[in-house]
Structures are given as structure tokens and as C-alpha cells.
Chains A and B, each alone.
Chain A
Amino acid sequence: MVWAGCALVLLIIPLAPTSGFALSLSSQMAIAAVFALSYNMLLGQTGLLSFGHAVFMGIGGFVAIHVLRSVNAGEWQLPLILLPLIGALGGACFGLVFGWFATRRSSTAFAMITLGFGELVYASAFIFVDLYGGEQGITADRTLAPKILGLEFASQLQVYYLIMSWAFIAAVLIFIIGRTPLGRVALATRDNAERVAFIGYNPNRVRFLMFVLSTFFAGMAGSLFAIDYEIVTYGSLGLSASAQVLMMAFIGGSSTFVGPIVGAILITGLQVLLGQYTDLWILYLGVLFAIVIRFAPDGLAGLIAKECASWRLNHIRGRSVLIGLRTIAAVIAAIGFVTLLELASRAKTASVGGAVLRVWGTHVDVMSPWPWLFAGICFLMGLISLRFVHLAAARRMSVADVNGEPK
């Protein structure tokens, strides 16, 4: 039911009077979501922290783009809609080789191996220029491929449907894998790898299989990327891309299935939308990451799930008021914080004539002290009221405890 609903939403999004921008943004989000879901097969489902997952998305992308070039040149015959499968197999082949020795270790050692491996592949991009295309990357033309049903993928709409179809299939498959005997025992391995060995499973084999499956879907995400942009560069292999998918999974919440999707949509949205207005978006992302890790370790999806659960189980009177107050205080603090940072960033470039901050059509002079004062007060007030609401809530809870009221 839920799946059918999602499929319907994805189908009708383009019917809304949207621009090509919205279509390409949702395509990007879908690609990021597949990548984040594949990453979470390691992080959330198997308990493996990887710092090099972008390698497999990148490999999938390069395999896809090279195959597409051959198809362009008429060497091979392959309809575009099957290209993601090829890229996925490419990612999985690489995952097979790399996973074979990486998954003999877990926890910190595994994380360090993936970090080193990621850097290794990234560095090799400068050596094998033919493969990775150097600075320019590798380009291909998605419209020059054998056509099925007359689809030539020249329009963004057709590409949107291609990407969404594969993203949907990938999400369903990843969901299903999590519920198979292997997926279940992967969760057990995450919880307690030692005991897994005493119920008949080789924990390294479990990790290995999950690793290869996850690189399959990472490769698929990479080839969707290649189809969407028709270019793949070595940058997509790098550590920053690996770090970003880690943030998606964490911010969205790695302990739920939808968490990584939420994280992927949020971060891609931040990146694309905020990126149009400010250079500081990556800083905001970092702050958001830190806040989530500190205050909602189960991520946004985990937070929402928890709130819903406690809503149903133990209804505190005035709980919604409390949440409302918290949100208002947090928004005030955020406005102050963002304004301060933006002012600071403009002030830095003031000498080259960027001393004006545009906010909702009004122009703010960065050099005058008033906006700074306003932002500072905003930030402090927000923080103080957050603290105040927190203390009030704590007092209320303890009173409820003493009176023996249900929490």
C-alpha cells in the first residue's frame, strides 16, 4: 500500500505545473536516495561504517558512461533503460574484490580500510587519465542509443521517469533484502557479531554479502547519475562525496528504512536550493549534522518515529504546546545564527564591493552595527528560550512523576 502510494506520487509529480528545474531536482534527489539507501545497507543494517562508499557509485558511473560511449560509437547495442543494470554490476564487481578483504575486519579497522581505499582510487584517477577523463571527465550522449518504444530521452521528463523507475525498483529491492534471512542476520551481526558465529553464521560472510549487494545499488545510483548528467568526473569518487552520503544516512536516520531517503532529499535540497543563495550551505549542513548527532542520534526519521510513538503511548498534557514553543525558539535562534554568518561572510568580501546583504528584497548594509546587533540578540534570545522551555519541560515531567501521573 505504502509502496503503491509512493509510486503514484512519483508518477504524478510531473503533472503539477512544474519547471524543468523541479524535475531535475527530484531526479537528483532520487539518485541521492538510492545511494543513501545502498549506504545504509552497510551502516544501519550491518553496522559497518564506510568512508569510501562514493567509490562504488563513481565506478558505477564510469562503467555506465564508458558503456554509453561505446553504444554511441555503435560498437555495442544496448538500450539506455538497461544501462543502470550494467553500472550496478560494475559497482558490484568492484565491491566483490574490495569487499573480499575489507569485510574481514569490522568497526574501526573496516572504516580505516575504506578510507584508505577511497583515497587510493581517488588518487588513481590522476594516473589513469584515459579511464577517468582527467579534469574534464568522461562525457557521452544518452540520446544516441537503441530506442525502445520510441523513447529517446531527449526531454527531462523522459529522463525523470527513467530515473524514478529505477530508483523505485532499487528502493523496493533494498527494502526486501532487509527482510530476507540474510538481511535479518545482518541486523543480528550489527547487534552482536560474536553471537552470530555461535548460531551458525560466519559474520564475515554476512558482512561480505551485504557489502557486495550494497555496492550493486551504489553502482546503480552512479549510472543513474551518468544518465542524468551525461558526464562523470573523478570528483564523484572522492572523500567529500563519501562523507555526504554518510551525513544523509545519519541526518535522516540510519535505524529506519526511510531515514536515508529523508536525508538524501533534505541534503540534496539544501545543496541545490541554498546553494543558489549562499556559499555557506556546506557550513549549515555541518551545523545541522552536529545538531542531529547531539540531539537526535536516531536522525530525523527516528525522531519523528519516537515522537509519534510517545504521542500514542503516553500523552503529556501540553506536549504539543511544548513542541511548538521549542520549534519557535529554535527558529529564532536559527535566524539569528544564519544572519550572523551571512553578515560575516559579506563583511569578508566587503573590500571587493560585496558589502550588501539582500534579504527578501531589502538591502542590508553589512558595515552598520544594527543588523549585527539584531542578529546577535535574535540568536541569544533563541538559545535562552530553548533552555527555558527545556527546564520547564523537565520540571513538568518530574512533577508528573511525583504525582504518579502517566507520563
Chain B
Amino acid sequence: MSVALRMSDVHKRFGRVQIIRGVSLDITQGERHAIIGPNGAGKSTLFNLISGRLAVSSGRIELADKNITGLSPFEIKRRGLSRSFQVTNIFPRLSVFENVRCSLQWSEGWRYSFWRLADAIPELRRKAELVIDEIGLTGRSSTPAGVLTYAEQRALEIGITIAGDTSVILLDEPMAGMSLVETQHALELIRRISSNRTLLMIEHDMNVVFDLADRISVLVYGKIIATGTPAEIRSNDRVREAYLGTKVADVASS
């Protein structure tokens, strides 16, 4: 199996504060990989480093064996990695359809084109409708994104992320703030969209993590203390210690 995403000794400092302290991790092509860890462990920072939102202090990040360290977010996206955000980050005044279509434009090759009407490109419309259908917002296509319900906005957040064929997707707490029913829907959605992609996700809901992930990495104080299958993580002493008998232990004993 080839490596889809590789981090080698990645560090991030804010001034004198070390947030990420030497993360090395290989994500295999096609796997579903979850990152868990207590609050403030640096999970979101790690995502920001991978997706180019923040610059690494040192270390190297490779996407499909090509160096992407220091590239800007749009260059990384063009190379095939896209991400969602923990705090919903959509285009509030555009309709659901426009949100998704804009996210498709680049990979469909329309780029900065200003000589062709977007409505006159059937391929864009068709693909956008496919994505909207996939995230279950078909009936809401013309609704401004800003007035969607919270769960719908979270679905759109994922829709924007998966639109435009990227092989690696990063989901930052896709289930945050969802009810039990909504979480079930979102779980099915993520399972579907990750069937032909490499998935790296941050999630606090341990049921979701242990249900969905092929492998799990535990990040504590900027370091990965364990990586392995759900079963290995359950029985790992250092993980139990880090969580001090909280969620992981609960799931492990259930």
C-alpha cells in the first residue's frame, strides 16, 4: 500500500510555546484514520499545518510522495487534499448550489474563466447536483447557506470539502454539536464519501471513532503517543493513562 500523506518530524511553535512537538505519521492510501486526544493537544493545529493554513516551524509534509511543505492552501487543494473546518466555514450569502458549484470549478478546469456563463456549463451543474444529493440537501439547493439549520450547514461543510475530486480529505470534528440522530446520518455520509478516498479526521465522539476508523492516532501535548487499530488503541496503557479512565476506557470496556 502506498502512502497518501506523510508527516516527518513536524514541529510548530508559536513564539516560545511548542504546540506540535515532532509528529511523524504515515496515512496509507484509502484508509480511514482518526486522530483523537484531549483538548489542546494540537489536533486542529496539525490539520492547519497539513492544509497549509499555518506554516510548519520545521519538518516535512508529503502528499502522495510530493513535498507540500510551505505551500499555500489553494496549491495543496489543487494537489488533491481538501479539508473541512471545526467551526462551520461556508459561503453564507450564496445558495447551497452555488457553494458546491464554486468548490467544483477549479478541479473541473474552469479556474478564473470569465468568458463562459457558469449556468451554461452542464457538467458543473450535474456534478454539483450529485454532491448535493450525496450530502442529502437536494431539497435545499436554492436556499442561502446562511439560513440552513446547523446540521445542514455541517453537511454542506462536508459537501464543499468533497466537491472537486480530491484523493485525501481532512474532516475536523464533523460531528461537533450534533444530536444523536444527526450523528448517525453524518456517520453514514462520511462512510459513503470515504469509500474511495483517504480520510483523516479529528473526532471527539469515541463511538464514531471506534466505529469508523481503520486506524487511530492519539495526540497528546503535540506528540503522537500511539497509533494502531481500534483494538490496539483500546488496550494501550499509555492511552488509558492519558485519558485517565474517561471515554476511551468506557468504549473499551463496552
Q: B88-129: contact bitstring with A at CB < 8 Å (1 yes, 0 no)?
A: 011111100011011101110011111111110100100000
Whether A198 contacts B102 by the Cβ 8 Å rule is no
Contact with A180, one of B51, B72, B103, B118 (Cβ below 8 angstroms) = B118
Whether B114 contacts A183 by the Cβ 8 Å rule is yes
Which residues of chain A in 165-196 are interfacial with respect to chain B, using CB atoms and an 8 Å cutoff? 176-177, 179-185, 187-188, 190-192, 194-196
**Does A104 count as interface, using CB distance less than 8 angstroms?**
no
Whether A202 contacts B89 by the Cβ 8 Å rule is no
Q: B143-170: contact bitstring with A at CB < 8 Å (1 yes, 0 no)?
A: 0000000000000000010011000000
Whether A200 contacts B77 by the Cβ 8 Å rule is yes
Contact with B117, one of A179, A201, A202, A206 (Cβ below 8 angstroms) = A179
Task: Please report whether the interface of chain A is mostly helix, strand, loop or mixed according to DSSP.
Answer: helix
Name the A residues within 8 Å of B164 (CB-CB): 199-200
Contact with A198, one of B73, B93, B114, B116 (Cβ below 8 angstroms) = B73
Tell me the complex Cα distance, A194–B91, Å.
10
Contact with B83, one of A176, A183, A198 (Cβ below 8 angstroms) = A198
**Does A205 count as interface, using CB distance less than 8 angstroms?**
yes
| Residues of A in contact, count (CB < 8 Å) | 27
Name the B residues within 8 Å of A191 (CB-CB): 91-94
Tell me the complex Cα distance, A125–B124, Å.
48
Contact with B160, one of A187, A195, A197, A202 (Cβ below 8 angstroms) = A195
Tell me the complex Cα distance, A188–B92, Å.
9
Task: Please report whether the interface of chain B is mostly helix, strand, loop or mixed according to DSSP.
Answer: loop
Whether A192 contacts B90 by the Cβ 8 Å rule is yes
**Does B78 count as interface, using CB distance less than 8 angstroms?**
yes
Tell me the complex Cα distance, A196–B119, Å.
20
**Does B82 count as interface, using CB distance less than 8 angstroms?**
yes
Contact with A201, one of B74, B82, B119, B160 (Cβ below 8 angstroms) = B74
Name the B residues within 8 Å of A185 (CB-CB): 102, 105, 112
Q: Nearest B residue to A209 by beta-carbon distance? A: B112
Tell me the complex Cα distance, A297–B238, Å.
57
A205/B112 contact (C-beta < 8 A), A185-B102, A192-B90, A199-B164 known: yes
Whether A182 contacts B103 by the Cβ 8 Å rule is no
**Does A213 count as interface, using CB distance less than 8 angstroms?**
yes
Q: Nearest A residue to B84 by beta-carbon distance? A: A198
Interface size class of B (residues with CB under 8 A): 35 or more
Whether B113 contacts A180 by the Cβ 8 Å rule is yes
Tell me the complex Cα distance, A194–B51, Å.
12
Name the B residues within 8 Å of A180 (CB-CB): 113-118
Name the A residues within 8 Å of B106 (CB-CB): 199-201
- Most A CB contacts (10 A, CB to CB) among B53, B91, B93, B111 go to B91
- Most A CB contacts (10 A, CB to CB) among B53, B92, B105, B112 go to B112
Contact with A192, one of B91, B111, B113, B117 (Cβ below 8 angstroms) = B91
Name the B residues within 8 Å of A195 (CB-CB): 85, 89-91, 160
Q: Nearest A residue to B107 by beta-carbon distance? A: A200
Q: Nearest A residue to B108 by beta-carbon distance? A: A181
Whether A184 contacts B103 by the Cβ 8 Å rule is no
Tell me the complex Cα distance, A195–B73, Å.
9
Contact with A197, one of B72, B92, B107, B115 (Cβ below 8 angstroms) = B72
Name the A residues within 8 Å of B102 (CB-CB): 184-185, 187-188, 196, 199
Name the A residues within 8 Å of B117 (CB-CB): 176, 179-180
Whether A182 contacts B113 by the Cβ 8 Å rule is yes
Name the A residues within 8 Å of B107 (CB-CB): 200
Whether A206 contacts B89 by the Cβ 8 Å rule is no
Whether B114 contacts A199 by the Cβ 8 Å rule is no
Tell me the complex Cα distance, A187–B94, Å.
8
Tell me the complex Cα distance, A263–B131, Å.
39
Whether B119 contacts A181 by the Cβ 8 Å rule is no
Tell me the complex Cα distance, A192–B92, Å.
8
Whether A213 contacts B114 by the Cβ 8 Å rule is yes
Name the A residues within 8 Å of B114 (CB-CB): 177, 180-183, 209, 213
Name the B residues within 8 Å of A198 (CB-CB): 51, 53, 73-74, 77, 82-83, 89
Whether B74 contacts A200 by the Cβ 8 Å rule is yes
Whether B90 contacts A184 by the Cβ 8 Å rule is no
Whether B118 contacts A179 by the Cβ 8 Å rule is yes
Q: B27-59: contact bitstring with A at CB < 8 Å (1 yes, 0 no)?
A: 000000000000000000000000101000000
Tell me the complex Cα distance, A195–B124, Å.
20
Tell me the complex Cα distance, A184–B94, Å.
9
Name the A residues within 8 Å of B78 (CB-CB): 200
Q: A residues touching B (Cβ–Cβ < 8 Å)?
A: 176-177, 179-185, 187-188, 190-192, 194-202, 205-206, 209, 213
Q: B residues touching A (Cβ–Cβ < 8 Å)?
A: 51, 53, 72-74, 77-78, 82-83, 85, 89-94, 98-99, 101-103, 105-107, 110-119, 121, 124, 160, 163-164
Q: Give 8 CB contacts A-B under 8 Å.
A: A177-B114, A181-B118, A188-B98, A195-B85, A197-B72, A200-B77, A200-B164, A202-B72
In the complex, besides A181-B111, A188-B91, A200-B103, 6 extra interface pairs with C-beta distance below 8 angstroms are: A184-B101, A191-B93, A192-B91, A199-B160, A200-B74, A213-B114
